[in-house]
Amino acid sequence: MVEGNMLIVIFLLALAALFFLILKLKVEPFISLISVALVAALALGFPLADIPKTVATGFGNTLTGVGILIGLGVVFGQFLGVSGAIEKIAQAVLRVFGIKRSAAGLSLTGVAVSIPVFFDAAFVILSGLVRSLSRRTGISIVTFVTALGIGLIVSHSMIAPTPGPLVVAENTGADLGLFILYGIICAIPAAMVGGYLYGTFIGKRIKTDADVTEEEMIADPVAAPRKEISTGLSFFMLGLPIILILLNTVTQLWLEEGTLSHILGFIGDKNVALLISVIVALIVLRPYISVPYKDLYDEAINSAGMIILVTGAGGAFGTVINQSGIGDYLIGTMQGWSIPVLVLAFIFSQILRASLGSATVALVTTSSILGPMAVELGASPILLGLAICAGAIGLSLPNDSGFWVVNKFGRLTIPQTIQAWSVGGFIAGLTALAMVYLLSLFSGILPGI
């Protein structure tokens, strides 16, 4: 196996090759990702006989987490769209926040939803709002994709009881209640700056084919429902899978092991929760849908197929890089750097996030190394943990399956995804780090700091 600096060189060359294939040669992302994963594994020195299995395992493991979710999510989104539910929710968001600040409302919605719900599931569930809000406001889809995606990933990376932040709090020895409180304090400005403000900025500078036209703003492309759905029912249907998934979180935190906890845990599994929601939508939304169900299913399956393939291929590429040992090499290298501990924690987590393609893996790895050293390093466990969380927010690259979820459901090109999602997340992470330093100014005054 390749070791040392060559690990970094091969990783960067693999990314360059991937961008060249997709952007220059116009090769489908699925084929490009699988091809680059195989070639990268060869270059990294994987045993020849193990390479196909490694790539296939990475593909399969990724789809174990999100494959069913994406399929059901697309079908669920179709039901919400043609029933008029998404439009009703968009109207409600606009009433509360107004047209100019509608992206801020969507970003804050993302922050709230992603606390109990995993990023992938939340983005799939809420992605229907993006086009609806863009249609109603005339604001670029890029702005809303950025606002939603960054709001979700900030919360996913910073606020327990999401698994990553929960492990960080445990590894640093931070008080969980205070860690959640300060995590929220850091997350909201990060989402507003990286999601809403940057999203507004970049949305004005990127023209995408997914943007709605003036004609679409005048004539709603969604088929007129047979009966107008109420705002309350619309929110209930959108919130149903979120509520069911939240049951799983509540079960794990507060219920003792037993029959009830097993039942609620089963219902709250993200795949089961979304299946239940699809079945409920099929029954409850029938009076509001005029499109034949067969057409809905056909369109959903066509949309989900390529998304699932590309997401799985992204996971395969990420697995090859992850198993190359690049994480261990980076850990050994960075431990010798003489820089402020909070900045070190941020950089450590950020580099692992970019290279390994997983916010959760970056959080767990960084906190397991630096967490036990918090007192020795002279840092507040809460501040150290939050700095680690801030580093896991940004620089999502094509080795991250979440990159492809945003790319496909947001209907963006690869460069647009990098500009909106990857850079927006990086800005949000820096903002969160700035908030951590702001909290550090009140050391001795604020509890736990």
How many domains does one find in the chain? 2
The three-point CA angle 115-121-124 to 5° equals 120
Which pLDDT band holds residue 434 (cuts at 50, 70, 90)?
Answer: very high
Question: Does residue 191 sit in the same domain as residue 255?
Answer: yes
Question: Does residue 355 sit in the same domain as residue 206?
Answer: no
Question: Does residue 270 sit in the same domain as residue 137?
Answer: yes
Question: Does residue 280 sit in the same domain as residue 346?
Answer: no
- Which amino acid, one-letter code, is at 227? K
- 46: which 2 tokens? 């994987």
Q: Which pTM does this prediction carry?
A: 0.73
**Average pLDDT estimate for 262-287:** 89
Which pLDDT band holds residue 222 (cuts at 50, 70, 90)?
Answer: very low
Residue 4 domain flag: no
Question: Does residue 253 sit in the same domain as residue 362?
Answer: no
Q: Distance between CA 100 and CA 200 in Å, rounded?
A: 10
Residue 207 domain flag: yes
Residue 102 domain flag: yes
- 88: which 2 tokens? 């009703």
Query: pLDDT tens digit string along 311-324?
Result: 788 778 878 887 88
Buried b (16+ CB within 10 A) or exposed e, 354-369: bbbbbbbbbbbbbbeb
Query: pLDDT tens digit string along 31-90?
Result: 988 999 999 999 999 999 999 999 999 899 878 877 887 788 778 878 887 888 877 877
**Average pLDDT estimate for 269-284:** 90
- Which amino acid, one-letter code, is at 42? L
Domain boundary (310, 344, 378) is at: 310
Angle between helices 270-284 and 259-267 (to 10 degrees): 70
Question: Does residue 327 sit in the same domain as residue 250?
Answer: no
Residue 38 domain flag: no
Which pLDDT band holds residue 255 (cuts at 50, 70, 90)?
Answer: low
Instruction: Evaluate if residue 449 carries a pLDDT over 80.
Output: no
Q: Distance between CA 221 and CA 226 in Å, rounded?
A: 15
Integer CA distances (angstroms), 41 to 12, 44, 49, 257, 356, in order: 13, 5, 11, 43, 14
Query: What domain range includes position 383?
Result: 323-440
Residue 222 domain flag: yes
Question: Does residue 306 sit in the same domain as residue 327?
Answer: no
Question: Does residue 224 sit in the same domain as residue 297?
Answer: yes
Upper half-sphere CA count for residue 444 (Cβ side, 13 Å): 1
Q: Distance between CA 260 and CA 404 in Å, rounded?
A: 37
Residue 114 domain flag: yes
Question: Does residue 301 sit in the same domain as residue 329?
Answer: no
Cβ pair 345, 387 in contact under 8 A: yes
Question: Does residue 305 sit in the same domain as residue 327?
Answer: no
Question: Does residue 343 sit in the same domain as residue 227?
Answer: no
Positive or negative torsion for Cα 296, 298, 299, 301:
positive
Domain boundary (310, 345, 370) is at: 310
Question: Does residue 428 sit in the same domain as residue 279?
Answer: no
Residue 66, C-beta contacts closer than 8 angstroms, at least 6 positions apart: 120, 308, 311, 401, 405
DSSP string, 272-291: HHHHHHHHHHHHHTGGG--S
Residue 299 domain flag: yes
Which pLDDT band holds residue 386 (cuts at 50, 70, 90)?
Answer: very high
Q: Distance between CA 326 and CA 329 in Å, rounded?
A: 5
Helices marked H in 138-230 — which ranges? 141-158, 163-172, 176-191, 198-203, 214-218
Q: Distance between CA 339 and CA 293 in Å, rounded?
A: 59
Residue 302 domain flag: yes
Domain boundary (276, 310, 344) is at: 310
Q: Distance between CA 14 and CA 39 in Å, rounded?
A: 8
